[in-house]
Amino acid sequence: MYLRPVDRSTPAERAAAPGFIGRLRLPRPEQWGKLWLRIRRNWQLYVLLFLPLLWLVIFRYAPMYGAQIAFREYSPAFGIEGSPWVGLAHFERFFKSYYFKPVIVNTLVISFYSLLAGFPIPIILALSVNQVKMRLFRNSVQMITYAPHFISTVVIVGMLFQFLHPRVGFTASLANLLGMAPPNAMGDPAAFAHIFVWSGIWQEMGFGAIIYLAVLSTIDPALHEAAVVDGASRLQRIRYIDIPGLMPTAMVLLVLSTGRVLEVAFEKVYLMQSPLNLGVAEVINTYVYRVGLLSPILDFSYSTAIGLLKGIVGLLLLIAVNYAARRFTNNGLW
């Protein structure tokens, strides 16, 4: 899932999509004539769809076909279909590789840390903003908290480097002021995950709250009125009305993010990597890139195998988590 334009949509909207997984119903034979008539009646719609479908096949489905080089020893001289089959050799090589363990561990650590810290915060922010009735204050908070979402990843990481610079950064100024030795946070492997996760939260919490605020605005005011009549405090109304109202959306988002735990934001991790922190900062996506396009001997097949493994495990994970969510909370993607 690399070359897609960076999709900053939160998973909820992706989930709430129409026709997410449609039921396919084949017509009975006696209906075929009628079916053909309906297709012919709308032929111009299919003409409109032609270019998008052509694009879809070339840039999204042809690569899936090309992913078969994961099971071959690809060489440019023979092409995709001419290269010899090697079965699961590349997968075995990855399992036995020295990098296997650290890459998987780093990916999971960063992912779950992001998920655990990053999931509740937009919800808390939305609940809190929702309590504010003063329009000016509410709008200013929203405006300011959304803003970092629009700063590019390169600039965010550049800001981190400047901000945490051991000599000229803000932390250095602060340390000087307090008479302490300035820390070199960006070069410290122990700090990597914290910096990655919390800068991500700093950037995205406001934008992540948008969807929850939208859901909160749809909660029936009669519920709140009744609760007030019964003497419920604001905190109790949040606990018993707002939070249950957010649950379905929150579950859908959680399912989607759990299904994507192997997809650590490539762009940002890659920018934050340095020889000092590579031991904790190399994740599956950056490893695939390094093996496939950066190393002196480009190993297309090996890199594709690792990418494919990640894609398949991610898909199975999504299906499993969705099943569990359906089973236990009655909310899920499909």
Partner 1 sequence: MASMTSYESNINQVNESAVDRVFMLGNTAFLLIITLLILLPLVFIVAASFSSAEAVIAGKVTLWPVDFSLLGYETIFEHKKVWNGFANSIFYTFFGTIFNVTMTIIAAYPLSRQDLIGRRFITFAFIFTMLFSGGLIPTYMIVRDLGLLNTRWAMILPTGIGPFNLLIAITFFRTTIPPELNEAARIDGANDFRIFLSIILPLARPIIAVLALFYAVNTHWNTYFQALIYLKDQELFPLQIVLREILIQNSIDASMLIDIEDLVAREGLRELLKYSLIVVASVPVMILYPFVQRHFVKGMTLGSVK
Instruction: Report the site for partner 1 in 102-161 (rule: CB under 8 A).
Output: 125, 128-129, 131-135, 137, 140-141, 143-148, 150-155, 157-159, 161
By CB under 8 A, how many residues form the interface with partner 1? Answer: 126
Query: Per-residue x/- mask for partner 1, residues 13 to 42, rule CB under 8 A?
Result: xx-xxxxxxxxx----------x--xx--x
Residue 182 DSSP code: P
C-alpha–C-alpha distance, residues 140 and 80, integer Å: 55
State the nearest-atom distance from the C-beta of 270 to partner 1, in Å: 8
Q: In the complex with partner 1, which residue's Cβ is closer, 101 or 176?
A: 176
Distance, in Å, from the CA atom of 110 to the CA atom of 193, rounded to the nearest integer, reads: 6
**Dihedral sign for Cα atoms in the order 26, 31, 34, 40:** positive
Of 101 and 234, which CB lies nearer to partner 1 in the complex structure? 234
Task: Specify the residue, 42 or 330, whose C-beta has the smaller distance to partner 1.
Answer: 42
User: What is the dihedral angle through the alpha carbons of 314, 318, 324, 327, rounded to the nearest 10 degrees?
Assistant: -160
CB 108, min distance to partner 1, A: 20
CB nearer partner 1, residue 91 or residue 207: 207
Q: How far is CA 44 from CA 35, 39, 50, 57, 142, in A?
A: 16, 10, 10, 20, 44
What residues numbered 295-314 form the site for partner 1, per CB under 8 A? 300, 303-304, 307-308, 310-312, 314
CB count in 10 Å sphere of residue 81 = 10
* 163 touches partner 1 by CB under 8 A: yes
Q: Which one, of 92, 94, 60, 90, lies nearest residue 74 by Cα?
A: 90
The correct pick among 105, 112, 176, 320 for binding partner 1 (CB under 8 A) is 176
- Return d(Cα 107, Cα 282) in angstroms, integer: 8
Are the C-beta atoms of residues 196 and 269 closer than 8 Å to each other? yes
Q: Does 224 bind partner 1 (CB under 8 A)?
A: yes
Q: Which residue number, 116 or 294, has a Cβ lying nearer to partner 1?
A: 294
Contact pattern for partner 1 over residues 225 through 244, marking x by CB under 8 A:
x--x--x-xxx---------
CA separation for the pair 201, 118 (Å, rounded): 6
Tell me which residues in 40-79 interact with partner 1 (CB under 8 A). Answer: 42, 44-49, 51-53, 55-56, 58-67, 69
Longest dimension (CA), the chain: 86
- What is the distance in angstroms between the CA of the first residue and the CA of the last residue of the chain? 21
Among 116, 180, 315, 324, binds partner 1 (CB under 8 A): 315
Residue from 103, 195, 210, 254 touching partner 1 (CB under 8 A): that is 210
Shortest distance (Å) from residue 194 CB to partner 1: 15
